[in-house]
Structures are given as C-alpha cells and as structure tokens.
Amino acid sequence: MASVGAVKFLLCLLLCLFNSQTLCQGEKNDRYANRYSFIKRASSFSSSSSSSSSVISSTGSNDGYDYIIVGGGTAGCPLGATLSEKFRVLVLERGGVPFTNPNVSFMENFHITLADTSPSSPSQYFISTDGVLNARARVLGGGTSINAGFYTRASSRFIEKVGWDAKIVNESYPWVEKKIVYRPKIAPWQRAVRDGLLDAGVSPFNGFTFDHVHGTKVGGTIFDRFGRRHSAAQLLASGNPKNLTVLVYATVHKIVFDTRGKIPKAVGVIFRDENGKQHEAVLRKSRESEVIVSSGAIGTPQLLMLSGIGPKDELQKWNIPVVLDNPYVGKGMADNPLNTIFVPSRRPVKQSLIETVGITNKGVYIEASSGFGQSNDSIHCHHGILSAEIGQLSTIPPKKRSAEAVQEYLKGKREIPVEAFRGGFILSKVASPWSTGELKLMNTNVEDNPSVTFNYFNHPYDLQRCVEGIRIATKVVQSEHFRNYTLCDRQSTENLLNMTVKANVNLVPKHVNDTKSLEQFCRDTVITIWHYHGGCHVGKVVGSDHKVLGVHGLRVVDGSTFTESPGTNPQATVMMMGRYMGVKILRDRLGNSSGI
C-alpha cells in the first residue's frame, strides 16, 4: 500500500496509521433502504437458534439457513447474491454499510478512510512482524470498499493453474463488470506513465483492456465518471431479497461443529451484534447445507483456528478444543512487495489512482498514482508518528513507540507545507513472491489482529525482481514525459530515491544515502499494496472444490486459498470467484434445474 506516504492511495495508510481522527461508517437510510431491504443490523437477529452457549441447537430444519456466509466482502457479496437465487442465505459482516460514508464512496476521500484508526473504521490496520504497515477491510463490500479501484482480470495461466472451468469464468467476469466496472478517463499523470513505460521498453501498448497481457495497458475501475465508488456490496442487489439476509456489525467468533460422528460437521456459527449480545445462527438440517468462510486471507485462517481447525500445538497453546489437527492452516502467507519513487511536481497534479499498468514478463508491474494531497483534508490530516516530514520515526526506538509517544509527537508536529504533497508516485510491485510466511494467533479474540509474517525479500529472486522494477520505474521518471512538468531530471533521481528512504513508510531500519545499492533500497522502502493471500491453500486446507478437508459442511471462498495474487490487482478475480463458486455450487447441487 514516498515522501508523503506513497500514494495517499497506498500510503496515507502508512503515514496516517496513528491518526486520532474518528470517522464513522455511514448508516442505513432511505437512499438505499428500499433496494437493500435485506441488510439489517445484527441486533435485529431474532431466532430460536439464538444461544448464549456454543452447544448445538435443536432448532427444527425449517428455521435454519441453507448457507451461512461469514464475511460480506469481495467474494462474500457476489457469492451470497448468487446462492440466494435458489436457497436461503445468511451473510454475516463484521463492519457496517459503505453506501452513505463519503470517505468510502468518493475517490477524492480515498486516503481519509485509511487514516481512520477508530474501532468503527472501515479499515482495520495491522502491522506485520516484518515492520510493514497494512490494512484489512471492516465494511460490507470488503476490500472493494476501501481500495484504489483498479480492475483487471487474471491471466489465463492463473485460471488454468487453479483448475477453474474457463467457460464459467468467462461468464462470471462479465456478470461483475456489467454492474460495477467502468472505463477510466485517463488522467495526465497516467498518460505520462503510459508514454514513459513505452519509452522504457514495456511494450506493446495494448490500449484499454481488462485482460492480463504483457506490455502497457489501461485497465478498468470501480469508480464511475463522477468519482463515486461501486463496490462488491452493490452486487447484493442481484440476489433474491426473499432468500437473502445480510447482517452488518455481526462479528463471528467461532464456527460450531457437531463432533458426534466420525467426521466433524459444521452446523452453525456464534456471532456478536453491535451491542455485544451473542447469537447462534444454524444451518438447515440438510446434507448440502454449508458454512462458507469468506473472511479474507487474514480473517479466514484466524477464524478456522479459533474454531478448532489448525495446527494442534497452536490451538492447545490457547486452550482451544481441537476439532481437526491441520498443520497447514495459516501457512504459506504471502504479500506482493511494493516499492515507490516519489516524484515532486512544479504544480499541483490532478488526482488519479491506478489506471495505467506496465506488465513485464519477469513478474514486475509498474503502476502510478498522483495528486492526493491538495485538499484541506489532506494537508491538515495528522500523519502521526509515521509522517514523512523529516524522518522522526527513526529517532524513537521501537520499544518506545507507545501510544503516549504517538500523542506527544502529534502535539508538537508542524504542519506539512502544501508543496510536499504535489506530484505523485511511481510504484513497482513484485508479483507472485517466492518469499512466504505464516499467520499465528495472538490471543483468542477474533476482533484483534493475529500475528502475520510475510518475510519480504527472503528469497533472492524476489529481491532481484524488485531491483529490476526500480530500474524500470527510474527510466519512467527520467523520461521526457515527466521532465516536461516535474522537478525531476537524470541528476536528481538519486535524490528522489533518498527522499523515499527518508520517508517513514514502514518500521524497517533505514540506510539513508545508501541508494547506490538498489537491493538495500528495496529492503528499506518495502510497503504493501494490500494483495496478501494464502493461509488456506488448495490441497492442504481445502480441496479443489474449496471444501475444508477433514470436515463436512464447511467451505472457504476467498483469497486465502491462493498461492499467488491474480493479475495486477486481485479484486476482479475475487469478485468473479464469488460468482463462480456460487454458480458451481448451484449447478452441482441442482444440475440442469439450477437455471444458472
């Protein structure tokens, strides 16, 4: 996810994580109440299956759900909408609705949501053990409600690798695209990046396309021409409102299993509403009924472990009853490392998030963003202890970076001059990293972040590709297309790299003025672009049908099953995955009578 925080699209998160500002998520109102009448607060849940314990409910079959989806995010929303066409579906989302929150809804406010670290924020920050700051969604629509909006499909190689039916895939992508995807009006900064990439040899130019093809292209966006976001939450409108119930502020604490047979079977979930009251939602007593976990690469392995599925030693450490010993839960975690070059401009630059991308044949992608910072909200936003202002972070030892230290810094912080925000960023991302890590529990509270390690650049091939990406990005910055209106020339490129190193974009110790070593630059300035994945890999935690191995009635549908992040941005494929798996489930269960 530079000098002022590598994108405000990516890095206001990294620069604003300790912001004390409180912004609340939008609440339900008449504007969308009619269209989304099935979305309700968790406290409205009333059922004979409500329980104060985790025992199996004796509720009759007519009172249960055919499918309970844990997580109303990027995959969960299209999945829930699709399954509701034929069956009774309950979607449980721990966050609120995105529709009436202007900081979620409008591109110009993109960075403000990431700056909000309040308990009710749509964006829940976490810091990996590597020292890289990150975020996970806590809002209906998941990552599509807080991301930079870029839309591009996965490569055909990825589809073949995961073993999906290409025909259903090619039906499912357009299902998403017709509803919430747009063609961007390319911004001047993005045109300069396009031309600079072509000059740097990242060719051919493939024009506007959703397809993942080598060369330079313009992709789609979920922001319309007015700059308004269209998230996966809107895909819920395609569902059958008579069969679909979506509860917001519903935090699932564990999956409930019937362990009386030879193989454990998921029969429901325990969740808490916004008032802290505990409820139990149960499945219909049918062999095909399922709990489907779509809580993302962080939330899904965490919930499985808290429910008793995971490494036995890890579960026993936290006194969690073991339902199934599976040593692979939480393993194989990966994040695509990102590095940026800050490019100051002579004049304010029009805002733009990712529109243009250069796709190299070495698995390095070059992207860009610009202009986040000219508004009063941006300039006066407290960037906290991670401010790129002069590198104060390095003066505070890690063990002394307390909440008190943060507040003390905020009090004495100087206002950042507007000039610091002008310009934009060139981004270099390493795709399909060979370096992987793991996720472990920190406690038994599902609302707290687990411990996540990504091991950025542990494998030399990842570091080699990062260096190649920075070299390409440097050529783009040095091209005449940028020199025409920026402060950058060939002589100042090293200064730009040093400027980026000095910026406090992570908690990794810095080597300022050592940019002659691009390897060191990569290590010092690594950040995230929120494309983490893994933790529940196919063949180790789930089968090819995404059913959890060793138990009945439980499936995982999200990016935790991926061994690599699809395309240059995963959201298109994860939304498609939700629709795809819904169609597959219906066809497998109903055959030709599914009508899907």
Residues 6+ apart with CB under 8 A from 262: none
Q: Is 349 annotated as a binding residue?
A: no
Give catalytic residue positions: 531
Q: Is 93 annotated as a binding residue?
A: yes
Other CB atoms within 10 A of residue 271 CB: 25
DSSP assignments along 179-195, one per residue: HH-B-----HHHHHHHH
- Is 272 known as a binding-site position? no
d(CA 594, CA 86): 8
List of long-range contacts for 51-60, beta carbons under 8 Å, 24+ apart: 51/270, 51/278, 51/279, 51/280, 52/278, 54/254, 54/256, 54/270, 54/280, 56/256, 56/258, 56/267, 56/268, 56/282, 57/267, 57/268, 57/280, 57/282, 59/282, 60/285
41 is in an annotated binding site: no
Measuring CA to CA, which residue among 147, 151, 171 is closest to residue 159? Answer: 171
Maximum C-alpha span of the chain:
75
Does 25 show up as a binding residue in the annotation? no
Per the annotation, does 531 bind a ligand? yes
Q: Is 252 annotated to bind ligand? A: yes
Name residue 135's beta-bridge partners.
125
Q: Which residues of 280-294 are buried (b: 16+ CB within 10 A; e: fewer)?
A: bbbbbeeeebbbbbb
Report yes or no: 269 and 283 within 8 Å, Cβ to Cβ.
no
Element (H, E) at 126: strand 123-127
Q: Is 530 annotated as a binding residue?
A: yes
Q: Is 139 annotated as a binding residue?
A: yes
Peptide bond into 398 cis (omega under 30): no
Report the distance separating Cα 210 and Cα 516, nearest Å. 37
- In whole angstroms, give the CA distance from residue 105 to residue 112: 11
C-alpha–C-alpha distance, residues 423 and 373, integer Å = 9
Report the binding-site residues.
Answer: 93-94, 139, 252, 530-531, 559, 570-571
Report the binding-site residues for FAD.
Answer: 93-94, 139, 252, 530-531, 559, 570-571
